Amino acid sequence: MSESADSTTGHVDGPVRVEVTRSGGFAGVSRHVVLDAATLPPAEASRVALLAEAVQRAGTAAAAPGGADRFSYDVTISRGAHQSRHSYGEMALPADARALVDLVLNKAGGGSAS
């Protein structure tokens, strides 16, 4: 599959790969999960792509201070050679980022960010 950039949005076509690292929590355990949208049915792959684009457009707000027993999330979104990284505290996880993290963790059988 080839990549092409949309000159109006900067969007790059191609399969999306999302990596989520969830760390912290009560046990302090770190979990790393990778979801390659190319392995999903088309409707699910489209949902991953739309959420990934929304997260990339929003960027990462200033990190909120973490709290005891709270999770932190590092999200890496890759599409071809283009990659972006986003870090969030559990209490500062925006809705689109939360939906993407939940989807990735649920696909891997790892629960959700909720």
Average pLDDT on 84-112 reads 88
Neighbours of 30 (CB within 10 A): 13
Give a yes or no: residue 57 inside a domain.
yes
Given a cut of 90, whether residue 84 has pLDDT beyond it is yes
Give a yes or no: residue 112 inside a domain.
no
Per-residue pLDDT band for 2 (boundaries 50, 70, 90) equals very low
Average pLDDT on 24-29 reads 78
Give a yes or no: residue 85 inside a domain.
no
* Residue numbers of the domain that contains 59: 16-76+92-107
Neighbours of 31 (CB within 10 A): 14
Give a yes or no: residue 22 inside a domain.
yes
Supply the pLDDT for residue 40.
93
Given a cut of 70, whether residue 1 has pLDDT beyond it is no
DSSP β-ladder status, 31-36 and 71-79 = unpaired
Q: Token pair of 83, please?
A: 């990659």
Sign of CA dihedral 20, 84, 54, 18: negative
**Structural domains in the chain (count):** 1
Supply the pLDDT for residue 71.
86
Give a yes or no: residue 34 inside a domain.
yes
| Residue 61 DSSP symbol | P
